[in-house]
């Protein structure tokens, strides 16, 4: 809350579902009251309804819809903590709350010791993290073209959308900012995405599977849509079958592309602590933010009013990311 500049003149809303970690709620109340801020909790159903009225269950990667009352309650607060397991991320309500000037920090229900490791603790550390992430955002924002390659066969090129470039430094200290606890990364929702992305063995499917890939998957992307999912192993079959089950072409659209910047994250820690999305939610995940990863995704894109219920976040190792031909990540290592 100190990193987020919560003060005694503010109101803090805590948004939960029935599975949210009650220790986090209690800690939030205690911290807000220590600071002298108002604090209240809004509990919403863990199942929402999507834009076409179908029921959406948890674990879809941030597609939780908020009912009207809670939206108004959040807009009346200065700061919102999102402790729901699913998260309201790729939904119009998030935009509405941010437009009211309310800042939102997504936390989920990760274990406290996982959260502790990902977040900078001292104010100086927080400032350094913010500066580093914003420097990378500046690089991304000023580029026209982003290209990703890897030794496994990835070679995909896209047009950067500077107005969608975002810096995620893991806390929210400005009106209307949204972020995820400890999430250090930059990303954008590019256009004209063309090429091949090979998800290699050992890469990590952050959502919806919270699992490592065993057999490589080749995604052929044309004009921002995955047109082919190839691969001999079960992982390609699983991804193809799951995506096709939605009967929705938008599921195959590409969404955000970026790279991770959290030096406390590693690509292997999820094997121990991040395999239970139904219990811990789908955020504050190292799998999204370990330094030097290449994180890309599929499905929803609020910038294009595309709200589909299937969202893949895939974090890849050993990729190189080039902005207008200049590397920012080389074979999985940040270029200083």
CB of 94 to Fe ion, least distance (A): 13
Query: Between residue 160 and residue 179, which ones bind Fe ion under the rule CB under 5 A?
Result: none
**197-223 per-residue burial string, b: 16 or more CB within 10 A, e: under 16:** bbbbeebbbbbbbbbbbeebbbbebee
Asked whether 12 and 29 are in contact (CB, 8 A), the reply is: no
Query: Between residue 226 and residue 245, which ones bind Fe ion under the rule CB under 5 A?
Result: none
- Options 163-171, 180-188, 299-307, 311-319: segment touching Fe ion (CB under 5 A): 311-319
According to DSSP H, which parts of the chain are helical?
22-35, 68-76, 92-99, 112-118, 123-141, 234-244, 270-273, 277-280, 286-289
Q: What angle do CA 92, 65, 227 make, to 5 degrees?
A: 70
Q: Is the Cβ of residue 87 or residue 332 nearer to Fe ion in the bound state?
A: 87
- Options 101-109, 120-128, 192-200, 305-313: segment touching Fe ion (CB under 5 A): 305-313
The rounded distance, in Å, linking the Cα atoms of 107 and 184 is 14
Q: Applying CB under 5 A, which of residues 91, 169, 313, 328 lies at the interface with Fe ion?
A: 313
Q: Is the Cβ of residue 42 or residue 62 nearer to Fe ion in the bound state?
A: 62
Asked if the bond preceding 73 is cis, omega within 30° of 0, the reply is no
CB of 90 to Fe ion, least distance (A): 7
The rounded distance, in Å, linking the Cα atoms of 170 and 260 is 12
The secondary structure of residue 164, as a DSSP letter, is G
Centre a 10 Å sphere on the Cβ of residue 167 and count the other Cβ atoms it contains.
22
- Options 109-117, 173-181, 190-198, 295-303: segment touching Fe ion (CB under 5 A): 295-303
Centre a 10 Å sphere on the Cβ of residue 52 and count the other Cβ atoms it contains.
8
Q: Is the Cβ of residue 37 or residue 267 nearer to Fe ion in the bound state?
A: 267
Q: Is the Cβ of residue 254 or residue 297 nearer to Fe ion in the bound state?
A: 297
297 binds Fe ion (CB under 5 A): yes
Q: Is the Cβ of residue 6 or residue 89 nearer to Fe ion in the bound state?
A: 89
CB of 36 to Fe ion, least distance (A): 35
Query: Between residue 257 and residue 276, which ones bind Fe ion under the rule CB under 5 A?
Result: none
Q: Is the Cβ of residue 297 or residue 301 nearer to Fe ion in the bound state?
A: 297
- Options 47-55, 213-221, 258-266, 313-321: segment touching Fe ion (CB under 5 A): 313-321
Instruction: By CB under 5 A, name the binding residues for Fe ion.
Output: 297, 313
């Amino acid at each position: 809350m100190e990193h987020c500049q919560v003060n005694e003149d503010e109101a803090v809303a805590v948004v939960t579902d029935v599975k949210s970690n009650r220790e986090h709620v209690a800690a939030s109340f205690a911290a807000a009251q220590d600071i002298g801020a108002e604090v209240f909790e809004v509990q919403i159903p863990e199942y929402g309804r999507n834009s076409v009225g179908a029921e959406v269950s948890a674990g879809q990667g941030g597609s939780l819809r908020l009912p009207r009352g809670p939206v108004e309650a959040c807009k009346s607060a200065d700061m919102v903590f999102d402790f729901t397991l699913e998260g309201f991320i790729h939904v119009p309500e998030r935009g509405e709350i941010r437009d009211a000037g309310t800042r939102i920090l997504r936390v989920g229900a990760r274990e406290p010791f996982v959260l502790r490791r990902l977040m900078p603790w001292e104010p100086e550390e927080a400032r350094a993290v913010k500066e580093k992430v914003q420097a990378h955002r500046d690089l991304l924002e000023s580029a026209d073209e982003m290209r990703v390659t890897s030794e496994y066969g990835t070679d995909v090129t896209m047009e950067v959308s500077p107005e969608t470039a975002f810096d995620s430094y893991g806390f929210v200290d400005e009106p209307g900012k949204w972020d995820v606890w400890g999430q250090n990364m930059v990303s954008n929702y590019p256009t004209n995405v063309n090429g091949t992305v090979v998800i290699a063995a050992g890469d990590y499917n952050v959502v919806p599977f919270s699992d490592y890939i065993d057999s490589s998957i080749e995604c052929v992307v044309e004009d921002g849509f995955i047109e082919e999912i190839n691969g001999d192993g079960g992982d390609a079959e699983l991804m193809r079958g799951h995506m096709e089950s939605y009967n929705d072409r938008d599921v195959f659209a590409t969404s955000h592309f970026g790279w991770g910047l959290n030096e406390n994250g590693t690509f292997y820690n999820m094997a121990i602590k991040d395999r239970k999305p139904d219990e811990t939610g789908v955020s504050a995940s190292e799998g999204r933010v370990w330094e030097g990863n290449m994180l890309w995704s599929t499905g929803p894109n609020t910038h294009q009013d595309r709200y589909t219920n299937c969202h893949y976040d895939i974090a890849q190792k050993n990729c190189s990311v080039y902005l207008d031909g200049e590397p920012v990540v080389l074979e999985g290592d940040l270029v200083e």
